[in-house]
Amino acid sequence: MANASGFASPSIPTLRTQTNPSGFRISRSGVYPFERINKWVFQCNAVVGKVESGVSSSQSRLPRVGQGCKLVGCGSAVPNLLISNDDLSKVVETSDEWISVRTGIRNRRVLAGNEKLTNLAVEAASKALQMAQVDADEVDLILMCTSTPEDLFGSAPQIQRALGCTKNPLAYDITAACSGFVLGLVSAACHIRGGGFQNVLVIGADSLSRYVDWTDRGTCILFGDGAGAVLVQACDGNEDGLFGFDLHSDGDGQKHLNAQIKNGNVDDETEKLGSNGSVLDFPPKRSSFSEIQMNGKEVFRFACRCVPQSIVSALEKSGLSGSDIDWLLLHQANQRIIDAVSTRLEIPPERVISNLANYGNTSAASIPLALDEAVRSGRVKPGHTIATAGFGAGLTWGSAILRWG
């Protein structure tokens, strides 16, 4: 279970425990070292390690002392329709040079026709399971990180159904915009360490093209659609692959990046008043969301200031330094942000993962999409240490230090 300071430390059982106060110590860093954990005594009516017939897996699931987690599979999927900068120049006043110089983006993929975001998510998740050699029925939790579900009440259960998970594992959505995937990774680790889950699918998928004002060249040039997924699997503590994390939010920054709900307006005074002169607020008018509104300069300043601080904090909590990082993998929002953060952290360009030019900003999908391409191309190899960070609307931001494989 991750402790309050952001460490991915050994699990602390939720059942009652007994320890030897004189022998139990906590290190200065806040981590519970595996070699210093005394014997935990579980006091419960069930017999640990023995599950009677007829008891469901959720009832028998117990956290294990020192249990860790690791990333063992990844996958991604994008829509068929490719929109280039030249294509956009026919819709708004812009050019390939204007867009690429300011953002680093040259193409993006956009959902069209009968394509659905959930289908992309299922495809990405299936590829992750295939790489990990894990059957759908072995998955016991699905986390769908998205701000654009195709159902108001969430898309995760539909993904669970489409994958063919016949044991009805828990599936739910996480909404944290472009930080969503990092929050999903940390949530998966907490479920594994504190809840005894074994195989957790973390999916990042978004279709922000549906909420873009395609007449606003300040925002429509940035966003694309896509999905990416990883399988996070339980392992022994000495194989743990999530070393530390750092998560934040700041509601004061919401004014700089949002897509707020808008209610139907009633201008006719006769519609506002009832026959007895009372104000009519019922039935409510149907609501919808506005297009994405963004103050680009403020979001740029926020990212360049907060993201490096967050990564440094996560590294400190992990007991690592920048020289220990094999790869820097940031949310793919703007190449200028990626360059500014890597420069501040003194990480050379050849150790920075970026596929922004081909896909644009795919929100919660950007990190797993870039990771999948890097793994399948052979750049990221088992054992490599990755510093990753997401940042975006909310405002939210967070980072995690992890090992692939």
Interval 117-144: pLDDT, tens: 999 999 999 999 999 999 999 999 999 9
- What per-residue confidence (pLDDT) applies to 286? 78
24-28, 190-194, 294-298: which range is least confident on average? 24-28
- Which uninterrupted H or E stretch holds 261? strand 261-262
Q: Is the pLDDT confidence value at 333 over 90? A: yes
What average pLDDT does the segment 355-359 reach? 98
Helix (H, G, I), strand (E, B) or coil at 373: helix
Our answer to whether residue 85 is catalytic in this structure is no
Report how far residue 145's alpha carbon sits from residue 99's, in angstroms, rounded to the nearest whole number: 28
Question: Hey, what are 59's tokens?
Answer: 């009832």
- What per-residue confidence (pLDDT) applies to 61? 63
Model confidence at 55, in pLDDT bands (50, 70, 90)? very low
Our answer to whether residue 276 is catalytic in this structure is no
Given the residues 165, 190, 331, 358, select the one marked as catalytic: 331
- What per-residue confidence (pLDDT) applies to 38? 34
Report how far residue 176's alpha carbon sits from residue 186's, in angstroms, rounded to the nearest whole number: 13
Q: Is the pLDDT confidence value at 82 over 50? A: yes
For the full predicted model, state whether its pTM sits above 0.85. Answer: no
Model confidence at 223, in pLDDT bands (50, 70, 90)? very high
CA 239, 139, 49, 41 dihedral sign is positive
Q: Is the pLDDT confidence value at 91 over 60? A: yes
Q: Is the pLDDT confidence value at 161 over 70? A: yes
Whether 328 contacts 353, CB under 8 Å: yes
Mean pLDDT score of the chain: 85
Given the residues 178, 190, 304, 306, select the one marked as catalytic: 178
Whether 229 contacts 203, CB under 8 Å: yes
Tens digits of residue pLDDT in 172-220: 999 999 999 999 999 999 999 999 999 999 999 999 999 999 999 999 9
Residue predicted with more confidence, 23 or 79:
79
Model confidence at 279, in pLDDT bands (50, 70, 90)? low
Tens digits of residue pLDDT in 362-376: 999 999 999 999 999
For residue 201, how many other CB atoms are within 10 A of its CB? 34
Report how far residue 214's alpha carbon sits from residue 292's, in angstroms, rounded to the nearest whole number: 10
- What per-residue confidence (pLDDT) applies to 296? 86
Our answer to whether residue 256 is catalytic in this structure is no
Amino acid at 5: S
Q: Is the peptide bond before 170 cis (omega within 30 degrees of 0)?
A: no
Amino acid at 173: D
Q: Is the pLDDT confidence value at 229 over 60? A: yes
- Which uninterrupted H or E stretch holds 187? helix 180-195
- What per-residue confidence (pLDDT) applies to 145? 98
Contacts for 133-138: CB closer than 8 Å, 24+ residues apart: 133/73, 134/72, 134/73, 134/199, 134/231, 134/233, 136/163, 136/164, 136/165, 136/166, 137/164, 137/165, 137/166, 137/167, 138/198, 138/199
